[in-house]
Amino acid sequence: MNKQSIPVQKNQQYEVVFEDLTHEGAAVAKINGYTLFVPKALPGERGIVKVIKVNKGYGFGRLMERIETSEHRAEPPCPVYQQCGGCQLQHLNYDAQLLQKQKMVKDVLERIGKITKIPIHPTLGMNDPWRYRNKAQVPVATREGGLVAGFYQERTHHIIDMDECLIQQEANDRVVQVVKDIANQLQISGYDEKAHKGTLRHVVARYGLVTKEVMVVLVTRTAELPHKEQLIKQIKERLPEVKSIVHNINRKKTNVIFGDQTTVLWGEEYIYDFIGDIKFAISARSFYQVNPEQTKVLYNKALEYAELTSSDIVIDAYCGIGTISLFLAQKAKHVYGVEIVPQAIDDAKRNAKLNHINNVDFAVGEAEKVIPWWYAQGIRADVIVVDPPRKGCDQALLNTIIQMKPKRVVYVSCNPATLARDLRVLEDGGYQTKQVQPVDMFPHTMHVESVAVLELKK
């Protein structure tokens, strides 16, 4: 489509009907074949949109007025929902969110993976889809009138100052507000991202859903934490549930939250939590699922799909801190876990010890290199479980799985597009996808996790 044939103009208004949602939560409208993406609208609605950006093949619009409203529209309970970029779907009722996520997985598997005629089950959601996140990482800045702390406005680095976040555990909200209040009293400055000045960059709060233990992490630009003793004393007094206060130093001009240096200011190095019967030690920097309630649902489904017997050998690629490995070890003969992050493997070994689970081995390295080495040592996996990052599995790992020929592959995915791509590779290599189960780990956002199971064709 050349510039002359684009049927819309910037700043003009048009009446449209919305057809679908993108994986980022924007509604899709067509004007004479030209696609317009519009946040906060819903499929089936009719409205007036203002065009705010025009590209060659698609544009972006803003919803100015709704003429017809979807029966699935909900009133967002969050007071800063319109500004904040944390959630994308509070304006869609929860049952419809679950349907939308199932549809998204199905559409992507068909379009990218050419995978049809298999059950894509209804999304497993939460009974209460609020207050589920056990970790808050909140940026802090100084404005006129003192410190502000909250999440970024959508597509900006402008902090929306907030008192609470409705998808956070209330314990985390309390930590952020109390630390902001104490730091304000002690006149500790917030971070200025542009000038790379100021002290307090982030307040990170971690909460054990079962144990109720709380960790506070103060991330600063400076090695020195002003009024340190006073800060610790007041946090302990005002937040008696806190078990650990940690200081992390990040001197770099970056939007990565943590720096390399971490010290415990007071209390324990770890807090603890449970997923099912398994206990986990969580440090300031540990990767730990942010919705443990739904993690249990996800892992139980992975365990069910693995169909393990007491004689099965399992390989867990991308094992992280051993979360899935330790679940699998309850049913398998032996589990081998591999992960590229050394600290995660240290955590995995610690968690195995913590739970007296002895039929697991963990190795640091790239799965696509370690697994062939295991194979050369005579280790033969009956089942391989993969839980890769958003970019999906490395091609070399997929090739290794195809060569190893385990009877079953369980694929835990946080990105339907890379899941579809990888399932196609495995299907072309002799596997058949049997079923896929979407799980809602992050209500009110567009993210969806899935568990797929493949079996080796006879």
- The catalytic residue positions are 414
Q: Which long-range contacts (CB under 8 A, 24 or more apart) does 226-231 make?
A: 226/186, 226/188, 226/199, 227/186, 227/188, 228/265, 230/186, 231/182, 231/183, 231/186, 231/188
At which residue do the structure tokens 């005629």 appear? 117
Per DSSP, the three-state class of 75 is coil
- Amino acid identity of residue 364, one-letter, is V
d(CA 383, CA 425): 17
DSSP assigned state of 410: E
Tokens of 318: 């991308």
Q: How far is CA 402 from CA 363, 372, 375, 407, 422, in A?
A: 21, 11, 12, 10, 12
Residue among 166, 86, 100, 162 at smallest CA distance from 128:
166
d(CA 312, CA 131): 38
Say if CB 380 and CB 405 are below 8 A apart: no
The number of beta carbons lying within 10 Å of the beta carbon of residue 194 is 7
d(CA 241, CA 342): 30
Q: Where is 101: in which H helix or E strand?
A: helix 94-111
d(CA 149, CA 190): 9
d(CA 438, CA 451): 6
The sheet with strand 431-439 has its strands ordered as 360-364, 334-339, 313-317, 383-386, 408-413, 449-456, 431-439
Strands 27-31 and 146-149: unpaired
Residue 15: CA atoms inside 13 Å, Cβ hemisphere, count? 3
- What DSSP line would sit under 102-169, residue for residue? HHHHHHHHHHTT---SS-BPPPB--SS-SS-BSEEEEEEEEETTEEEE-PBBTTS--B---S--TTB-
